[in-house]
Structure formats: C-alpha cells, structure tokens
Amino acid sequence: MKSARHTLPAPVRGKQGDTFREIVGMIQAARIRAVHAVNTTLIDLYWRIGEAISERIASDGWGRSTVASLAAYIRRQEPSVRGFSAPNLWRMRQFYETWHGERKLSALLRELSWTHHLVLMSRCKRVEEREFYLRTAAQSHWSVRQLERQISAALFERVVLSPPKLSSVMRELHGGAASVFKDSYLVEFLQLPESHSESDLHRGLVGHLKDFLIELGRDFCFVGSQYPVQVGGKDFLLDLLFFNRELQCLVAFELKIDDFKPEYLGKLEFYLEALDRDVRKPHERPSIGVLLCATKDNEVVEYALSRSVSPTLIAEYQTRLPDKRLLQRKLHEFYQLALPVWEARPRKMLRKTRKA
C-alpha cells in the first residue's frame, strides 16, 4: 500500500497567477470589511444602551440595583450573549456620557474597538487628551497595545508642552510639518544601555523598523539605511532615509548620540542639497532633514535654526519612558498660565495633529 504524500502546490504564474492573487485580495478585503462592520454595529449598540441607561438614571432615578437587575434580565433572555454584565452596562453609560456632546466625532468613535474605548475612558482625564488619542489612534490605526504605549509615553503632554523645533524655511515650504514631526521620539523598545554608540542606535532603529515607523507617525515610508549619495566623485551615506506621503517629500534622518551642536546642521543641509539635486523626483517637494540627538539646548537650537537655509528640524530621542506624572503637573501649570489664550487652541491643534 502506497503511503500518502504531501505535495506542495505548483507555483502559479502569468495571467492565472494574477487572477489567483486578485481573488485572494478580494477575500482579504472582504474579511477586513466584515470585521469593521461588526465593530461598527457593536459600538452603535453600546452607544444606544448607554444612552438609554443615562436617560433612565436622569428621568426615573435608576441606580445600581436597577442596572444589576437589567444585567440579570439580559442574561436570562440571551444566555449565549456575553459582555452585558452590570459593570459593562455602567461602562456603556460612561461611553455615551463621555462623547454625547461631540457629534462631529461619531465617525471616529466607530473606527476604534470597544477595548480601545475602555483604555481611553480609564486612562485619559482631560477632554482634550481623550480627543487627541481618539483622533490619532483612529487615523494611525493603532492597536490597543500601541495606544496604551503612547499614553504611557505621555505623547499628548509632550506634543502640547514641546512643539517641534522647525526652521523658518521648513515652515514656509512645508506648512503642515508641525503636525507631522515631534520634538522628541521615544525609542525605549531598543533597550539601549546608557552608554551606546551611533552604530548601536542606527542598528537598533533598523532592526526595530516597524516600531520606529509607528513612533514616527502615519504616512512615513522607509527608503533606505546608509543611503548613498555621490557628490564630486565622493560617496556619502545618509543614516536613514524616509518618504512622507502627506508632505510628499524625502525625509533624511541624521543620528547623533550627544548634545546638539550647531555645526551638525551644515552636514545635514549638504545632504539635503544632494537629495534635491540628484534623488528627488520632479513632482516631489523639497527634502526635509531631521537631526536626531540625545539632548539639545532649546536656545542653541533656536539660534542655529534662525539662519538655516534648508527645511530642517532638531529633535531628541529618548531611551526611557518619561515621567508621566511630572509631565502632567507641568501640563496643569501650563493650562493655568495660558488659560486665556489656550481655551480655543487645543481643539484646533487636535484637528491638525496627526492628519497622520
């Protein structure tokens, strides 16, 4: 008796292969739409339940015992359905009351899963903070884990307290750059020791490219590492080269493991000139340079960028999670000092932030 053999399917090529791949793509797209449709239906359901409970509490004085009775009733009527315990029903009420005055955000609410919303409600205290993470998570397609990491990394506090340091040429040529770049980038996932070399940093970023792209934000595409440019018969290597789809330009990253020095800008501007002359395509906008340093003095940065002739910015990389409570205290002080001019500004900033 012949033993059964497991044979690999023959590779498909030509028109047949194109058709096969097209059909698989249709299946994958349909699966994504189905998951999205289920999520939208659930979020709508939880919203309506939360609305009903909120209204009954206001009009009929419902309390915890009534909501507990409702949970027990649901359990008897729909024994196979999960997720409608008394604590979850209270969370649905909280979900509705958190967002019911923000109708313009209704489409974004449906983009995130229920678990995303539980994280937002439990970990974000300020209205502006919740809206910031809602918009950014939806637009950047963050997983729950990525959302939790960014909240732990105090992204909102860092964006508000430390806007990116851009050259005046950058602001003129790329008006939306302030909403794309950050003043500091968190790379704790590299697990770098206190004493590390530029090659350690470079190797780590390339080895954890997916994590770094998430940290950079939406619309960044990786082009190359140690990207070669040739000028006057000499070869030069850019540390990291990206393309940003929103700004429609190349973005060169130069890495420095020490404090920012003004002379570093000259080398970066030289690289940008080479990119624009020899690499940039006719339909693309002028290239941007990012100098990523371990530390920087903001006054030195301001002086250096004031005469910069290229679209550049100076940013820090941080190898450890920041002290979130310290940043929250600073943010509270910031709000107290800037309240008269700030009241309308957060929402405007949130609309611009992370069109990424």
Q: What is the pTM of this model?
A: 0.79
Quick count: other Cβ atoms within 10 Å of Cβ 44?
13
Q: Which residues are bridge partners to 184 per DSSP?
A: 316
Average the pLDDT over 186-194 and give the result: 92
Q: Domain limits of the chain?
A: 15-153, 157-322
Distances (CA, A) of 220 to 175, 303, 338: 17, 29, 33
Q: What digits encode the pLDDT tens for the residues 81-92?
A: 888 999 999 999
pLDDT value, residue 9: 62
Quick count: other Cβ atoms within 10 Å of Cβ 32?
10
Q: Which residues are bridge partners to 295 per DSSP?
A: 259
Q: Which residues are bridge partners to 291 per DSSP?
A: 254, 314
HSE (side-chain half, CA atoms, 13 Å) at 300: 12
pLDDT value, residue 37: 85
Query: Higher-confidence residue: 131 or 324?
Result: 131
* pLDDT exceeds cutoff 60 at 344: no
**CATH label, 157-322, candidates 1.10.510.10, 3.30.70.270, 3.40.1350.10, 3.40.190.10:** 3.40.1350.10
* pLDDT exceeds cutoff 50 at 168: yes
| Contact indicator for 180, 217 with CB cutoff of 8 Å | yes
Of 3-7, 211-215, 221-225, least confident by mean pLDDT is: 3-7
* Region at 163 (left for phi over 0; alpha for psi -120 to 50; beta for the rest): beta
* In the chain, % of residues over pLDDT 70: 91
